[in-house]
Structure 1
Amino acid sequence: MFFAPASPSPPRKTALPPMKLSQLFTAGLLLLAINVPAHAGIFDEDFDDDGKSWQEIKKDLPPAPQAANLVQFYVGPTASMTFTIDVNSISSDTDGVVRYTLVSKSQAGAENISYEGIRCQTYEKKLYAFGQKDGSWSRARLSNWQPITELVANRQHAALAKDYLCHDGMAAGKVEEMRARIRENRPIKPGS
């Protein structure tokens, strides 16, 4: 008996197994997640800042304070020290920081001199240097920006920021205005 050789059969196409609607939905979500940019849905805090981040300027230390330039200011009823500011040392710079020399004196007579800054926009303070008896300065080892708090007996930074140096998150006018406000003991009125 003679058999004819079988002709090769065409390759069979395999059909995909039927999928349920829930499987199709899950597969679609996975494909969508793969194509979504990693930053989608994240708020860009610098959007309105034109790509510029805040940069603190470098500033030279001022001359040692002179007694004739020191003006005392009111800190509050719980203060255990007296505070004076060298009005000639007050500066307001392009970085939004108001800098000044502060002299604090304890009831026993101990005196500290410091060169500091207040960033009105963020309501923070920074210590730059300590004054020495010979008129020189010693740079502060810990000079990070720290929040200003009112919940302390000696609230000198809060008093300076709220009453004399800052208003609505900005320096409260020109330097001469700040100096006059302190000299004349004329705190900023709320809402003005």
Structure 2
Amino acid sequence: MKALALVVACAATGALLAGCSSTPKPTNKDDSAFTYLFDRKPNWTENKVDALPSLPLAGNLIQFDVSGNTPLTFALDSKSLTVGDDGVVRYTVVVTSPSGAHNVNYEGIRCDTYEWRQYAALNADHDGWDDTVATQFTRIEDSTLNGYQASLYQDYFCANKIPTGTAKQILENMRYKRTAASQIR
């Protein structure tokens, strides 16, 4: 009986060693496609924008700097700023030319991808929103003279691919001109 058990154990060990010593067959599989768990992109879904904010009032506008080389002025409507749990900061921006002409847009900046989109613009009658001008998310352009989305992203809205805080915190930083660069110690 002991001899039979010994023979079975030797056969099993031999089979196990034979399996370990076989060389793997070459494959065309790309093993370099490794990604760390935290680098994997989850399935992102944008929050639905059901209602547009009220049109901005002059008393609710907070001016912010974009470039010393542009004649335009830029302001954000403090009543429209929201920070969604989808990582998108939504706001109304008012761009004013030296002659007094205004562009008013309701937009969103997605912090994790450095992208922005337009949801609506002031209609031709200047009494409501026109949502037919809505766009999809596109990459923010850093080098444009009037690239206010880049200024908002970098100075106030986003850090490390996430919003810098609640709407209240962002607005406080904008009121006191506390940009991301000014807070580095």
* More deviation, 83-92/127-136: 127-136
Cα RMSD of the aligned pairs, angstroms, is 2.5
Alignment counterpart, residue 153 of structure 2, candidates 158, 161, 164: 161
Q: TM-score if structure 1 supplies the norm length?
A: 0.73
Post-superposition Cα deviations, 1:118-151, rounded to whole Å, max 9, x if no partner, equal 1111111111100234431111435111111221
Distance between the aligned counterparts of 2:46 and 2:64, measured in 1? 27
Distance between the aligned counterparts of 1:109 and 1:45, measured in 2? 51
Q: Deviation at 1:52?
A: 3.6
Counterpart position of 2:31? 41
Where structure 1 has 5 or more consecutive residues not aligned to the other structure, the ranges are 1-28
SS of the residue 1:180 aligns to: helix
Are 2:133 and 1:141 equivalent residues in the alignment? yes
Question: Residues 82 and 96 of structure 1: is their aligned pair in 2 closer, same or farther, counting only changes over 3 Å?
Answer: same
Checking the alignment, whether the CA contact within 8 Å between 2:87 and 2:110 is kept in structure 1 is yes
AA in 2 matched with 1:122:
T
Where structure 2 has 5 or more consecutive residues not aligned to the other structure, the ranges are 1-23
Correspondence 1:70-81 to 2 at 5 A: 70-81=61-72
Are 2:119 and 1:128 equivalent residues in the alignment? yes
Alignment counterpart, residue 53 of structure 1, candidates 38, 43, 68: 43
Are 2:110 and 1:119 equivalent residues in the alignment? yes
**Count of aligned positions:** 160
SS of the residue 1:149 aligns to: coil
Are 2:177 and 1:185 equivalent residues in the alignment? yes
Checking the alignment, whether the CA contact within 8 Å between 1:80 and 1:153 is kept in structure 2 is no
Question: Residues 64 and 53 of structure 1: is their aligned pair in 2 closer, same or farther, counting only changes over 3 Å?
Answer: same
Give the greater-gyration-radius structure (CA): 1
Counterpart position of 1:97? 88
Q: Percent identity?
A: 32
AA in 2 matched with 1:113:
V
Q: Deviation at 1:175?
A: 1.1
Distance between the aligned counterparts of 2:155 and 2:94, measured in 1? 18
Are 2:166 and 1:174 equivalent residues in the alignment? yes
Question: Residues 106 and 169 of structure 1: is their aligned pair in 2 closer, same or farther, counting only changes over 3 Å?
Answer: same
User: Where in structure 1 do 4 or more consecutive aligned residues deviate above 6 Å?
Assistant: none
